[in-house]
Amino acid sequence: MRLSRPFYQLPVLFDVARLQAEVAALPAQAWVPHPDRVPGNSAARLISAEGQETDAVHGTMRPTPWLEAMPYLKQVLAGFGVVWSRSRLMRLDPGTGVPEHADINYHWHTRVRLHIPVFTRSEVRFHCDGEALHMGAGEAWIFDNWRRHHVENRADHPRIHLVADTTGTAGFWHFATAAPPLRDQWPRVAFDPQAQMPLLTETNERSVIMPAAEVQGLIEDLRGELVATMPETQAEAFHTLLDNFVFDWRQLCGLHGTSGEGLDAFRHLKAAVQDRAGELSDGLVMRTNGASARLVLEKRVLQHLVAEAQPRPPAARTMARGALDRPVFIIAAPRSGSTLLYETLAATPGFNSFGGEAHWLIEDHAALRPGAPGIDSNRLGAAEATPDLIAAIREMARNRRQGPQGAPPSEGAPLLEKTPKNALRIPFLKRVFPDARFIFLWRDPRENVSSIMEAWKAGGWVTYRALPGWEGPWSLLLPPGWQMMSGAPLETVAAWQWRSTNQIALDDLQSLPNEDWTAVAYHEFLADPAGVTRRLCEFAEVAFDAALQARTAAALPLSRHTHTAPAADKWLRNRDSIERVLPGLEALWYRLANL
């Protein structure tokens, strides 16, 4: 929720010793990894959907058994007299932190997060929009999480905060934001075993279709934050797209209501807006936090327009898995090391594959190749996935899958696929394979851009012999806007391919549920192939079997597409050229490093 300043301290203090005693009594099994898998971050769930071990923000919120065992914490929350959404204890290990980010999801549009530190040291610092402070144990704080913020725990002990989300009553907001009395006049809330204060929790059930009035409100709020770094005509086109979307969504709601009738019409409009927004939003950001307008539109609006059916639990999926259930796509810019990762994972019969890159899966269909009506690059959106094409692609995939070394496919094993052009097709692939999952691999831009340059020079990665207005053949994938590179130096083209591919892929992935994708840095894979492979197998629900253990027990072999032998400083042969283009890549590099 946006606030008028970064931090507010609420004028109330709590019994630190009692808080610490109740939290310290929690068993080890109460603590689970952070839902975004941020290293050094863990949580104990206190209020959750149905009181279960879940991080969902929709459903009927209830106290978990962990909160029921902490009467003072429960009393602290009840004493605010507000309705609580998902709430947890959040722990940061020594020497770790929370990377800088802004909370742009739908959940945060109307909610604020209350922090009550339980265990902390003076070395713990909370940063928000350029301001930094230490939240003391037993204090209560809220902050503007729409602004960019991060946390550092430089202490040698874990930091644990009670964090609780609420929209807040009028009384709460007056209490939180009014000029506070002198600190020695603040109430100190002790445990009262006779108190009978009810704990109020949200019932947050989604309608199948988001009502038109809510869509309009969210769009108007987004537009109020837009800042254009693009030509004015392009910004105007984006505003027109949003206007038209609100009009058309209101009409569909008027025709079908919001209970679930006419789902295909709603989904079609959503897909069309997603695709068009991707074309128009480059250079549009939020004024306060610099977040991509396209990403905010996805996370705050488009992702929540239609309440799709929830996936089956993992055990049921495994038992009923069919030939194309839960495929896994490796997504990466060209020359990022994706072949080595693919060949490693494909060593197990726990995956089926196509035996190599499957350009044919998409480009055997004339309607999807560059030059077809409406297609001028390798970028494909959900709207291009027509029912006939979905059926044809799934049939081709089913018929051509195989096991390791060309063996017959293992029934029930998920499909593993790796084609660099797929980095520009995530919305399309998600429409064709609704339960698809994605492994996003990225590589240091100095190394990656150098490798892209060498591929162009070698001439062995030509993908298009001739393109309108382009002199000579084109190598590697073809991002949208390639025409702007005409006449540019090779290092500029290579840097643009790296930036465009990673930016489009990352924006697309971050519009998906967290459980649908994971990320890995190429240097991490090289440093610990067994550890990274084990983690990716857990993500894909595939056993880290003897074949994978043997593959990763020693130095990995060279991949089939290796051009020259790997070396950490190989990029230095193109150093002068790369350093000319590196400043334009640093912002995205920072974003990738913070994954």
Q: What are the tens digits of pLDDT across the range 337-371?
A: 999 999 999 999 999 999 989 999 999 999 999 99
Q: What mean pLDDT is predicted for residues 313-336?
A: 72
For a pLDDT cut of 70, what percent of the chain falls above it? 95
Q: Which of 122-126, 276-280, 337-341, 481-485 has the lowest mean pLDDT?
A: 276-280
Q: What mean pLDDT is predicted for residues 149-167?
A: 97
Q: In the prediction, which pLDDT does 571 show?
A: 82
Q: 110, exposed or middle or buried, with CB in 10 Å at 0-12, 13-18, 19+?
A: exposed
Domains and CATH numbers, the chain: 7-201 (2.60.120.330), 212-304 (no CATH), 325-593 (3.40.50.300)
Asked whether the predicted pLDDT for residue 432 surpasses 70, the reply is yes
Q: In the prediction, which pLDDT does 28 show?
A: 92
pLDDT in tens, 3-13: 999 999 999 99
Rg of the chain (C-alpha set): 26
Task: Tell me how far apart the alpha carbons of residues 531 and 537 are, in angstroms, rounded to a whole number.
Answer: 10
Task: Tell me how far apart the alpha carbons of residues 456 and 167 are, in angstroms, rounded to a whole number.
Answer: 54
Q: What mean pLDDT is predicted for residues 469-493?
A: 94
**pTM exceeds cut of 0.75:** no
Asked whether the predicted pLDDT for residue 433 surpasses 60, the reply is yes
Q: In the prediction, which pLDDT does 86 show?
A: 95
The β-bridge relationship of strands 131-133 and 124-128 is antiparallel
pLDDT in tens, 456-480: 999 989 999 999 999 999 999 999 9
Q: In the prediction, which pLDDT does 534 show?
A: 93
φ/ψ region of 251 (left if φ > 0, alpha if ψ in -120 to 50, else beta) reads alpha
pLDDT in tens, 160-195: 999 999 999 999 999 999 999 999 999 999 999 888
Q: Give 313's pLDDT tier (boundaries 50, 70, 90).
A: very low
The β-bridge relationship of strands 284-286 and 124-128 is unpaired
φ/ψ region of 459 (left if φ > 0, alpha if ψ in -120 to 50, else beta) reads left
Q: In the prediction, which pLDDT does 511 show?
A: 80
Which pair of tokens denotes residue 527? 């440093």
Q: In the prediction, which pLDDT does 85 show?
A: 97
**pLDDT, averaged across the chain:** 91
Q: In the prediction, which pLDDT does 169 show?
A: 97
Q: Which of 42-56, 219-233, 520-534 has the lowest mean pLDDT?
A: 219-233
Q: In the prediction, which pLDDT does 560 show?
A: 61
The β-bridge relationship of strands 416-418 and 328-332 is parallel
Asked whether the predicted pLDDT for residue 311 surpasses 70, the reply is no
Distance from CA of residue 236 to its chain's centroid? 28
158 close to 91: Cβ distance less than 8 angstroms: yes
CA angle 485, 486, 488 (to 5 degrees): 65
Q: How many residues does the chain have?
A: 595
One-letter amino acid identity for 176? Answer: A
For a pLDDT cut of 90, what percent of the chain falls above it? 75
Q: In the prediction, which pLDDT does 573 show?
A: 87
Task: Tell me how far apart the alpha carbons of residues 46 and 66 are, in angstroms, rounded to a whole number.
Answer: 6
pLDDT in tens, 377-425: 999 998 899 989 999 999 999 999 999 888 888 888 999 999 999 999 9
Closest by CA to 417, choosing from 340, 551, 327, 536, is 327
Which pair of tokens denotes residue 248? 């058309």
> Phi then psi for 39, rounded to 5 degrees?
-55, 135
Q: In the prediction, which pLDDT does 567 show?
A: 63
Residue 7: CB atoms within 10 A of its CB come to: 18
Q: Give 310's pLDDT tier (boundaries 50, 70, 90).
A: very low
The β-bridge relationship of strands 97-101 and 149-153 is antiparallel
Q: In the prediction, which pLDDT does 556 show?
A: 80
One-letter amino acid identity for 194? Answer: Q
Asked whether the predicted pLDDT for residue 568 surpasses 70, the reply is no
Q: Find the helix or strand (DSSP H, E) in which 213 lies.
A: helix 212-223
One-letter amino acid identity for 279? Answer: E
204 close to 61: Cβ distance less than 8 angstroms: yes
Which pair of tokens denotes residue 494? 């290579």
Q: Which of 219-228, 354-363, 557-566 has the lowest mean pLDDT?
A: 557-566
445 close to 582: Cβ distance less than 8 angstroms: yes
Which pair of tokens denotes residue 63? 């106290």
One-letter amino acid identity for 317? Answer: R
Q: Give 321's pLDDT tier (boundaries 50, 70, 90).
A: low
Asked whether the predicted pLDDT for residue 561 surpasses 70, the reply is no
- Between residues 215 and 280, the one the model is more confident about: 215
